[in-house]
Amino acid sequence: PPPLSLFLRHLLLIGMSISAESSCTSDEDCSLNGVCRSGGCECIAAWKGPNCASLSLLPASKQSGYHPVDDGKNTSAWGGGVLKGDDGKFHMFPSEMINHCGVNSWTYNSRIVHAVSDTSLGKFERREEIFPVFSHEGNLARDPKTGDYVMYFTAHMPSGRPECSCTDGSTTDPTCGDTYAEGATYMSTASSPNGPWSDPVLVVSVGERMSDTNLAPVILEDGSLIGMWRIWRDPPNNGSECRLVTASNWKDVSTYEFHEQPLFPEIQPDLPGMMGTEDPFLYRDIEGNFHAVFHNMSPCPDYPCPEVAGGHAFSRDGKTNWTYTGIAFNSTIRWDDGSVYSFLRRERPHLIFAEDGTTIIGLSTAVAYGGEAGDATYTFVQPVAVSQH
């Protein structure tokens, strides 16, 4: 018989689930998160559902993630990817709102900080500021050849903006909350997650739109780059579109090409009830296929639509035939004490991987729990199944 594929060996190694409801003719019908066998999808442990498009999320600790308290007052954070450094620690780079304000103050008060935990799914503690106000939405990539870390983020340098002052993690300042022009996209590099980080280099200025691009790439072995960026569509087609970005050399910003074609036309904002997608996170599976998880806003007749919070898509080569597979997670959490809680918003997803770089073990997201103004937030980390029970 022919040798087993890497992916099938991965299934046998970490466990699989068989969806009795599925009907498939190819692995694409299983979202490339499983294999199609005898007309049914066999999903790897991290994914479930008829087409292996829903994350197998496990009960979580209420202490997990990054929820800072300063001077006895809540400080709001917004997302942040997690990776393991050579020091054995787990490193997160969340956006954080200074002066105890909520996420609605982001264009006034957001900065990027470095937080550390002894475990991937544990409690993260702030170590230092990486980029000052205004900086936001850092996405990390790593050069597989050199090992260098690259952070892409939105910033306005220097900020030149007034700062809001609040009390307990929510934006109670009446002068704050209108969104400023967000800023350009920059990149910075470091040989270690502990830094030092290089002076930021401008990747793209988005001109009069000034929309944050959410740039999220994968760097390939030859130094080229494949990723996604987004554009915010103004009314009447209010919403966000994810698009392709490529570069022949990630270090040379002159080689970056921001493609204009929407990747998911079936849910683009000019369709009724659709607000599109944003906050992409890209990764490759054990066979080299490309996947994305993102903040899903479709269908969403009345934002923020927490029941459709996360989406998934895949592509064989990262450049063509991106396929949207549907809702990957929502905003309802089961805690490890058996109780259930529904967040007001859940956005900015980043997957967390085991040391092999391909086995998914967790999901980091920005979550909103309320506060006086409804925008108090923190970065929540939730475990994902790594074997079938």
State yes or no: pLDDT of 209 exceeds 70. no
Q: Which two tokens stand for residue 259?
A: 């493609």
What is the average per-residue pLDDT within 144-153? 97
Least confident residue range of 21-25, 77-81, 289-293: 21-25
**So what's the pLDDT on residue 5?**
54
What is the 8-class DSSP label of residue 198?
Answer: P
**So what's the pLDDT on residue 3?**
45
User: Residue 110, Cα to own-chain centre: how many angstroms?
Assistant: 17
Least confident residue range of 6-15, 71-80, 134-143, 243-252: 6-15
Residue for token pair 């790594």: 386
pLDDT digits (tens, 9 = 90+) for 120-129: 999 999 999 9
State yes or no: pLDDT of 336 exceeds 60. yes
Q: Which two tokens stand for residue 3?
A: 């040798």
State yes or no: pLDDT of 389 exceeds 80. no
**So what's the pLDDT on residue 21?**
62
**So what's the pLDDT on residue 17?**
59
Q: Which two tokens stand for residue 148?
A: 């260098």
Cα distances from 243 to residues 71, 98, 159, 211, in angstroms, run 42, 31, 28, 14
Asked whether 192 and 114 are in contact (CB, 8 A), the reply is no
What is the average per-residue pLDDT within 17-25? 70
> Does 236 sit behind a cis peptide bond, omega within 30 degrees of 0 on the bond before it?
yes
Select the more confidently predicted residue: 1 or 361: 361
DSSP β-ladder status, 40-44 and 77-78: unpaired
Q: What is the sign of the dihedral through the CA atoms of 54, 57, 62 and 67?
A: negative
**So what's the pLDDT on residue 12?**
45
State yes or no: pLDDT of 174 exceeds 70. yes
Asked whether 227 and 282 are in contact (CB, 8 A), the reply is yes
pLDDT band at 302 (very low <50, low <70, confident <90, very high): confident
Q: What percent of the chain has pLDDT over 90?
A: 78
**So what's the pLDDT on residue 175?**
81
pLDDT band at 158 (very low <50, low <70, confident <90, very high): confident
Amino acid identity at 297: M
Rounded Cα–Cα distance for residues 45 and 33 (Å) = 9
pLDDT digits (tens, 9 = 90+) for 33-45: 999 999 999 999 9
What is the average per-residue pLDDT within 44-51? 97
Select the more confidently predicted residue: 265 or 54: 54
**So what's the pLDDT on residue 211?**
75
Beta bridge partners of 241: 231
pLDDT, averaged across the chain: 91
Asked whether 35 and 54 are in contact (CB, 8 A), the reply is no
pLDDT digits (tens, 9 = 90+) for 231-247: 887 777 778 999 999 99
Asked whether 148 and 190 are in contact (CB, 8 A), the reply is yes
State yes or no: pLDDT of 11 exceeds 60. no
pTM of structure: 0.93
DSSP string, 251-290: T-GGG-EEEEEES-GGG-TTSTT--BEEEEEEEE-TTS-E
